[in-house]
Protein backbone atom coordinates (compact mmCIF):
# COMPACT_ATOMS: atom_id res chain seq x y z
CA UNK A 1 0.00 0.00 0.00
CA UNK A 2 1.45 3.34 -1.08
CA UNK A 3 2.30 5.77 1.66
CA UNK A 4 0.45 9.06 1.91
CA UNK A 5 2.24 12.35 1.53
CA UNK A 6 3.71 13.34 4.92
CA UNK A 7 2.33 16.87 4.70
CA UNK A 8 -1.12 15.44 3.93
CA UNK A 9 -0.84 13.08 6.92
CA UNK A 10 -0.24 16.00 9.28
CA UNK A 11 -2.71 18.28 7.52
CA UNK A 12 -0.22 21.10 6.87
CA UNK A 13 1.11 23.07 3.90
CA UNK A 14 4.54 22.30 2.44
CA UNK A 15 5.92 25.64 3.65
CA UNK A 16 4.82 25.06 7.24
CA UNK A 17 7.12 26.36 9.99
CA UNK A 18 8.34 24.10 12.78
CA UNK A 19 6.06 25.48 15.56
CA UNK A 20 2.94 24.86 13.44
CA UNK A 21 4.29 21.46 12.37
CA UNK A 22 4.72 20.40 15.99
CA UNK A 23 1.28 21.76 16.91
CA UNK A 24 -0.37 19.72 14.15
CA UNK A 25 1.48 16.58 15.25
CA UNK A 26 0.55 17.03 18.90
CA UNK A 27 -3.10 17.26 17.96
CA UNK A 28 -2.96 13.97 16.04
CA UNK A 29 -0.84 12.25 18.71
CA UNK A 30 -3.37 13.16 21.39
CA UNK A 31 -6.21 11.90 19.22
CA UNK A 32 -4.70 8.57 18.14
CA UNK A 33 -2.33 7.66 20.98
CA UNK A 34 -2.55 3.92 21.82
CA UNK A 35 -3.14 4.63 25.52
CA UNK A 36 -6.33 6.46 24.59
CA UNK A 37 -7.33 3.89 21.97
CA UNK A 38 -6.14 0.52 23.40
CA UNK A 39 -8.34 -1.67 21.20
CA UNK A 40 -8.43 0.43 18.05
CA UNK A 41 -5.96 -0.90 15.49
CA UNK A 42 -6.92 1.80 13.00
CA UNK A 43 -6.11 4.55 15.51
CA UNK A 44 -2.74 2.96 16.21
CA UNK A 45 -1.95 2.91 12.50
CA UNK A 46 -2.86 6.60 12.26
CA UNK A 47 -0.61 7.30 15.24
CA UNK A 48 2.34 5.51 13.64
CA UNK A 49 1.72 7.27 10.35
CA UNK A 50 1.66 10.69 12.04
CA UNK A 51 4.81 9.93 14.04
CA UNK A 52 6.67 8.80 10.93
CA UNK A 53 5.67 11.96 9.08
CA UNK A 54 6.65 14.21 11.96
CA UNK A 55 9.94 12.39 12.52
CA UNK A 56 10.98 13.15 8.93
CA UNK A 57 9.65 16.70 8.61
CA UNK A 58 11.01 17.99 11.94
CA UNK A 59 14.55 17.14 10.77
CA UNK A 60 15.85 19.77 8.35
CA UNK A 61 18.08 17.38 6.39
CA UNK A 62 15.47 14.62 6.13
CA UNK A 63 12.81 17.13 5.17
CA UNK A 64 14.97 18.59 2.40
CA UNK A 65 15.65 15.10 1.04
CA UNK A 66 11.96 14.18 1.22
CA UNK A 67 10.90 17.42 -0.51
CA UNK A 68 13.29 16.63 -3.38
CA UNK A 69 13.03 12.86 -3.76
CA UNK A 70 9.92 11.83 -1.84
CA UNK A 71 9.62 8.60 0.18
CA UNK A 72 12.55 7.01 -1.64
CA UNK A 73 14.95 9.35 0.14
CA UNK A 74 13.75 8.41 3.61
CA UNK A 75 12.44 4.88 3.16
CA UNK A 76 14.08 1.55 4.09
CA UNK A 77 17.82 1.73 3.59
CA UNK A 78 17.89 5.50 3.88
CA UNK A 79 18.30 5.28 7.63
CA UNK A 80 17.96 2.89 10.54
CA UNK A 81 14.36 2.31 11.58
CA UNK A 82 12.59 0.17 14.08
CA UNK A 83 10.47 -2.88 13.33
CA UNK A 84 7.26 -0.87 13.42
CA UNK A 85 8.37 1.31 10.52
CA UNK A 86 9.29 4.42 12.54
CA UNK A 87 12.21 5.36 14.76
CA UNK A 88 11.92 4.92 18.51
CA UNK A 89 8.94 3.59 20.40
CA UNK A 90 5.68 4.90 21.81
CA UNK A 91 7.33 5.99 25.05
CA UNK A 92 9.94 8.02 23.16
CA UNK A 93 7.27 9.76 21.11
CA UNK A 94 5.13 10.78 24.02
CA UNK A 95 8.17 11.75 26.06
CA UNK A 96 9.20 14.14 23.27
CA UNK A 97 5.80 15.80 23.21
CA UNK A 98 5.05 15.98 26.92
CA UNK A 99 8.56 15.98 28.35
CA UNK A 100 8.28 19.64 29.30
CA UNK A 101 5.12 18.84 31.30
CA UNK A 102 6.19 15.67 33.09
CA UNK A 103 9.92 16.31 33.29
CA UNK A 104 11.04 13.94 30.52
CA UNK A 105 14.46 14.63 29.00
CA UNK A 106 14.53 12.49 25.86
CA UNK A 107 16.18 9.18 25.29
CA UNK A 108 19.84 8.68 26.03
CA UNK A 109 20.28 10.37 29.42
CA UNK A 110 21.76 13.77 28.60
CA UNK A 111 23.80 15.55 31.27
CA UNK A 112 22.25 18.55 32.89
CA UNK A 113 23.93 21.80 31.88
CA UNK A 114 24.97 24.18 34.64
CA UNK A 115 22.73 27.08 35.59
CA UNK A 116 23.09 30.49 33.98
CA UNK A 117 24.10 33.37 36.23
CA UNK A 118 23.21 37.05 36.15
CA UNK A 119 25.36 39.94 37.36
CA UNK A 120 24.10 43.52 37.55
CA UNK A 121 26.73 46.13 36.69
CA UNK A 122 26.15 49.80 37.44
CA UNK A 123 27.89 52.28 35.12
CA UNK A 124 28.32 56.03 34.88
CA UNK A 125 26.90 57.52 31.69
CA UNK A 126 30.39 58.41 30.48
CA UNK A 127 31.60 54.79 30.84
CA UNK A 128 28.49 53.45 29.12
CA UNK A 129 29.01 55.80 26.17
CA UNK A 130 32.76 55.23 25.71
CA UNK A 131 32.99 51.60 26.84
CA UNK A 132 35.05 50.20 29.69
CA UNK A 133 36.71 47.03 30.94
CA UNK A 134 35.77 45.99 34.47
CA UNK A 135 36.79 43.18 36.79
CA UNK A 136 33.94 41.47 38.62
CA UNK A 137 33.85 38.81 41.31
CA UNK A 138 31.21 36.10 40.94
CA UNK A 139 30.20 33.59 43.64
CA UNK A 140 29.45 30.40 41.74
CA UNK A 141 29.75 26.62 41.57
CA UNK A 142 32.97 25.76 39.78
CA UNK A 143 34.43 22.48 38.57
CA UNK A 144 36.06 20.37 41.25
CA UNK A 145 39.80 20.10 40.50
CA UNK A 146 40.20 16.94 42.57
CA UNK A 147 38.00 14.84 40.26
CA UNK A 148 38.08 17.10 37.17
CA UNK A 149 34.34 17.58 37.50
CA UNK A 150 33.46 13.90 37.18
CA UNK A 151 32.30 13.53 40.78
CA UNK A 152 34.14 10.20 41.09
CA UNK A 153 37.21 9.83 43.30
CA UNK A 154 38.81 7.35 40.91
CA UNK A 155 36.98 8.52 37.79
CA UNK A 156 34.97 5.27 37.64
CA UNK A 157 31.24 5.35 36.94
CA UNK A 158 28.79 2.48 36.60
CA UNK A 159 25.54 2.10 34.73
CA UNK A 160 22.53 3.22 36.77
CA UNK A 161 20.62 0.19 38.06
CA UNK A 162 17.34 2.08 38.32
CA UNK A 163 17.06 2.97 34.64
CA UNK A 164 19.60 0.49 33.21
CA UNK A 165 21.68 3.34 31.88
CA UNK A 166 18.90 4.89 29.79
CA UNK A 167 18.50 7.95 32.02
CA UNK A 168 14.71 7.66 32.12
CA UNK A 169 12.03 5.59 33.79
CA UNK A 170 8.49 4.96 32.60
CA UNK A 171 5.77 6.59 34.69
CA UNK A 172 2.01 6.03 34.58
CA UNK A 173 0.05 9.27 34.90
CA UNK A 174 -3.68 8.82 34.37
CA UNK A 175 -4.33 7.53 30.90
CA UNK A 176 -0.81 8.37 29.79
CA UNK A 177 2.28 6.27 30.05
CA UNK A 178 5.21 8.66 29.79
CA UNK A 179 8.93 8.67 30.38
CA UNK A 180 10.47 10.73 33.12
CA UNK A 181 14.01 11.62 34.17
CA UNK A 182 15.49 8.89 36.34
CA UNK A 183 15.51 10.13 39.96
CA UNK A 184 18.56 8.03 40.83
CA UNK A 185 21.02 9.31 38.20
CA UNK A 186 19.24 12.58 37.29
CA UNK A 187 19.04 11.50 33.65
CA UNK A 188 22.77 10.88 33.19
CA UNK A 189 22.43 7.10 33.00
CA UNK A 190 25.44 6.53 35.25
CA UNK A 191 26.12 6.55 38.97
CA UNK A 192 29.32 7.02 40.91
CA UNK A 193 30.81 4.08 42.80
CA UNK A 194 33.28 6.09 44.91
CA UNK A 195 32.16 9.74 45.26
CA UNK A 196 34.85 12.41 45.38
CA UNK A 197 35.51 13.48 48.96
CA UNK A 198 36.13 17.08 47.95
CA UNK A 199 32.79 17.69 46.21
CA UNK A 200 30.76 14.74 47.60
CA UNK A 201 30.19 13.39 44.11
CA UNK A 202 28.72 16.60 42.71
CA UNK A 203 31.66 17.38 40.45
CA UNK A 204 31.60 21.03 41.52
CA UNK A 205 32.38 23.17 44.55
CA UNK A 206 31.50 26.67 45.71
CA UNK A 207 34.02 29.31 44.74
CA UNK A 208 34.38 32.97 43.87
CA UNK A 209 36.00 33.72 40.54
CA UNK A 210 37.26 36.98 39.11
CA UNK A 211 36.45 37.84 35.51
CA UNK A 212 37.38 40.73 33.24
CA UNK A 213 34.33 42.02 31.39
CA UNK A 214 34.66 44.32 28.40
CA UNK A 215 31.64 46.60 28.11
CA UNK A 216 31.27 47.88 24.51
CA UNK A 217 30.72 51.57 23.83
CA UNK A 218 27.10 52.71 23.58
CA UNK A 219 25.39 50.27 25.94
CA UNK A 220 22.27 51.37 27.79
CA UNK A 221 20.29 50.24 30.80
CA UNK A 222 18.82 46.79 30.21
CA UNK A 223 21.52 45.67 27.75
CA UNK A 224 23.12 42.30 28.53
CA UNK A 225 26.57 40.93 27.75
CA UNK A 226 26.73 37.13 27.52
CA UNK A 227 29.86 35.33 28.66
CA UNK A 228 29.53 31.77 27.38
CA UNK A 229 30.56 29.01 29.78
CA UNK A 230 31.14 31.37 32.72
CA UNK A 231 28.03 30.33 34.64
CA UNK A 232 27.76 27.47 37.12
CA UNK A 233 29.56 24.23 36.32
CA UNK A 234 27.28 21.34 35.38
CA UNK A 235 26.73 18.29 37.54
CA UNK A 236 29.28 15.49 37.17
CA UNK A 237 31.24 17.12 34.36
CA UNK A 238 28.30 18.50 32.38
CA UNK A 239 28.84 21.74 30.43
CA UNK A 240 28.77 25.01 32.37
CA UNK A 241 26.03 27.58 32.02
CA UNK A 242 26.51 31.15 30.82
CA UNK A 243 26.97 34.43 32.67
CA UNK A 244 24.83 37.40 31.71
CA UNK A 245 26.10 40.82 32.75
CA UNK A 246 23.17 43.23 32.87
CA UNK A 247 23.95 46.92 32.54
CA UNK A 248 22.31 49.68 34.58
CA UNK A 249 23.34 53.26 33.82
CA UNK A 250 23.23 55.63 36.80
CA UNK A 251 21.29 58.93 36.52
CA UNK A 252 23.49 61.81 35.33
CA UNK A 253 23.58 65.29 36.79
CA UNK A 254 23.41 67.07 33.44
CA UNK A 255 22.09 64.66 30.83
CA UNK A 256 19.12 62.38 30.33
CA UNK A 257 19.37 59.64 27.74
CA UNK A 258 16.64 58.55 25.34
CA UNK A 259 17.97 55.89 23.01
CA UNK A 260 20.95 57.41 21.23
CA UNK A 261 19.98 61.02 22.00
CA UNK A 262 20.93 63.05 25.06
CA UNK A 263 18.80 65.80 26.61
CA UNK A 264 19.86 68.61 28.89
CA UNK A 265 18.24 71.72 30.35
CA UNK A 266 20.12 74.98 29.93
CA UNK A 267 19.11 77.94 32.13
CA UNK A 268 19.73 81.35 30.49
CA UNK A 269 19.36 84.96 31.63
CA UNK A 270 16.26 86.75 30.39
CA UNK A 271 18.49 89.41 28.85
CA UNK A 272 20.26 86.71 26.80
CA UNK A 273 16.87 85.33 25.75
CA UNK A 274 15.71 88.81 24.70
CA UNK A 275 18.87 90.09 23.04
CA UNK A 276 20.51 86.84 21.96
CA UNK A 277 23.98 85.60 22.80
CA UNK A 278 26.37 82.68 22.80
CA UNK A 279 26.55 79.93 25.42
CA UNK A 280 29.14 77.28 26.32
CA UNK A 281 27.35 73.91 26.25
CA UNK A 282 28.90 70.79 27.84
CA UNK A 283 28.94 67.57 25.82
CA UNK A 284 30.47 64.17 26.51
CA UNK A 285 33.34 65.17 24.22
CA UNK A 286 34.02 68.64 25.61
CA UNK A 287 32.36 72.04 25.36
CA UNK A 288 30.75 73.50 22.25
CA UNK A 289 29.26 76.93 21.53
CA UNK A 290 25.51 77.37 21.12
CA UNK A 291 24.22 80.53 19.47
CA UNK A 292 20.97 81.72 21.04
CA UNK A 293 18.98 84.04 18.73
CA UNK A 294 17.21 87.09 20.08
CA UNK A 295 13.62 86.80 21.29
CA UNK A 296 14.14 83.16 22.34
CA UNK A 297 11.26 81.84 24.42
CA UNK A 298 11.59 79.49 27.38
CA UNK A 299 11.25 75.82 26.44
CA UNK A 300 12.80 76.21 23.01
CA UNK A 301 14.78 73.13 21.95
CA UNK A 302 18.14 73.32 20.17
CA UNK A 303 19.62 70.28 18.43
CA UNK A 304 23.37 69.69 18.36
CA UNK A 305 23.81 66.99 15.76
CA UNK A 306 26.23 64.16 16.41
CA UNK A 307 26.80 65.11 20.05
CA UNK A 308 24.79 62.24 21.50
CA UNK A 309 25.61 58.53 21.88
CA UNK A 310 26.96 56.21 19.21
CA UNK A 311 24.65 53.20 19.06
CA UNK A 312 26.21 49.87 20.05
CA UNK A 313 24.05 48.14 17.42
CA UNK A 314 23.62 50.44 14.40
CA UNK A 315 26.63 52.70 15.11
CA UNK A 316 24.35 55.68 14.47
CA UNK A 317 25.51 58.84 16.25
CA UNK A 318 22.73 60.43 18.28
CA UNK A 319 22.15 64.14 18.94
CA UNK A 320 22.24 66.41 21.99
CA UNK A 321 18.96 68.21 22.58
CA UNK A 322 19.29 71.41 24.64
CA UNK A 323 16.13 72.89 26.15
CA UNK A 324 16.54 76.48 27.32
CA UNK A 325 14.69 77.78 30.35
CA UNK A 326 14.68 81.48 31.20
CA UNK A 327 15.80 82.04 34.77
CA UNK A 328 14.16 84.84 36.78
CA UNK A 329 16.82 86.82 38.68
CA UNK A 330 16.66 86.62 42.49
CA UNK A 331 17.97 88.68 45.44
CA UNK A 332 17.97 91.93 43.45
CA UNK A 333 19.41 95.12 44.89
CA UNK A 334 17.36 98.32 45.19
CA UNK A 335 19.03 99.82 42.14
CA UNK A 336 18.41 96.68 40.08
CA UNK A 337 14.74 96.65 41.05
CA UNK A 338 14.45 100.32 40.08
CA UNK A 339 16.01 99.59 36.70
CA UNK A 340 13.53 96.78 36.09
CA UNK A 341 10.61 99.04 36.97
CA UNK A 342 11.86 101.60 34.49
CA UNK A 343 12.26 98.87 31.88
CA UNK A 344 8.75 97.60 32.54
CA UNK A 345 7.28 101.07 32.25
CA UNK A 346 9.05 101.61 28.94
CA UNK A 347 6.89 99.09 27.08
CA UNK A 348 3.71 98.62 29.13
CA UNK A 349 1.83 100.97 26.84
CA UNK A 350 2.60 98.71 23.86
CA UNK A 351 2.20 95.38 25.65
CA UNK A 352 0.77 93.62 22.60
CA UNK A 353 3.84 94.32 20.51
CA UNK A 354 6.40 93.15 23.06
CA UNK A 355 4.42 90.40 24.81
CA UNK A 356 2.18 88.75 22.16
CA UNK A 357 1.67 85.51 24.12
CA UNK A 358 0.68 87.33 27.29
CA UNK A 359 -1.71 89.56 25.39
CA UNK A 360 -3.29 86.59 23.62
CA UNK A 361 -3.72 84.79 26.93
CA UNK A 362 -5.39 87.83 28.54
CA UNK A 363 -7.75 88.10 25.57
CA UNK A 364 -8.71 84.47 26.11
CA UNK A 365 -9.35 85.12 29.81
CA UNK A 366 -11.66 88.01 29.03
CA UNK A 367 -13.61 85.95 26.50
CA UNK A 368 -13.95 83.18 29.04
CA UNK A 369 -15.44 85.44 31.71
CA UNK A 370 -17.70 87.11 29.16
CA UNK A 371 -19.19 83.71 28.26
CA UNK A 372 -19.56 82.80 31.94
CA UNK A 373 -21.48 85.97 32.77
CA UNK A 374 -23.61 86.22 29.62
* Tens digit of each residue's pLDDT (9 = 90 or more) over 175-225: 666 777 888 777 777 888 888 888 888 888 899 999 999 999 999 998 999
The pLDDT-based confidence of 239 (bands split at 50, 70, 90) is: confident
Domain shared by 138 and 193, yes or no:
yes
For residue 17, what are the domain limits?
Answer: 6-88
Beta carbons of 193 and 119 less than 8 angstroms apart? no
Question: What percentage of the chain exceeds 90 in pLDDT?
Answer: 37
The pLDDT-based confidence of 98 (bands split at 50, 70, 90) is: very low
Q: Any residues with CB less than 8 A from the CB of 105 and at least 6 apart, and which?
A: 99, 167, 168, 181, 187
Beta carbons of 138 and 125 less than 8 angstroms apart? no
Query: b/e for 253-271, b at 16 or more Cβ within 10 A?
Result: eebebeebbbbbebebeee
Mean pLDDT of 310-330: 91
Domain shared by 134 and 66, yes or no:
no
CA distance 188 to 237: 11
**Phi, psi (degrees; rounded to nearest 5) at 138:** -120, 120
Q: How many domains does the chain have?
A: 4
Domain shared by 126 and 229, yes or no:
yes
Domain shared by 267 and 237, yes or no:
no
CA distance 357 to 295: 12
The structure's pTM equals: 0.57
pLDDT value, residue 352: 62
pLDDT digits (tens, 9 = 90+) for 125-147: 999 999 999 999 999 989 888 88
pLDDT digits (tens, 9 = 90+) for 60-78: 888 888 877 677 667 654 5
Most confidently modeled range among 43-52, 160-169, 184-193: 43-52
Domain assignment present for 108: no
Q: Indicate the residue among 249, 277, 301 that finishes a domain.
A: 249
Domain assignment present for 104: no
Answer whether residue 97 shows pLDDT above 60: no
Domain assignment present for 11: yes
Amino acid sequence: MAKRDYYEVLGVQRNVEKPELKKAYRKLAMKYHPDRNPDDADAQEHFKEAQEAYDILKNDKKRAAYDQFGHAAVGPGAGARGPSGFEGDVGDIFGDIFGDIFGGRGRGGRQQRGSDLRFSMELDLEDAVTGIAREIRIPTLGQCDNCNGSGAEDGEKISCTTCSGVGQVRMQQGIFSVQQTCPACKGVGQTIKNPCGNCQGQGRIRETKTLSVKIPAGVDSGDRIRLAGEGEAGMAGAPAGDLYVEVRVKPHRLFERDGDDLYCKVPIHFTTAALGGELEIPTLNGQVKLKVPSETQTGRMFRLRGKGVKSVRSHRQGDLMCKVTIETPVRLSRDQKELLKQFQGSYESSNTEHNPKSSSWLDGVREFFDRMTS
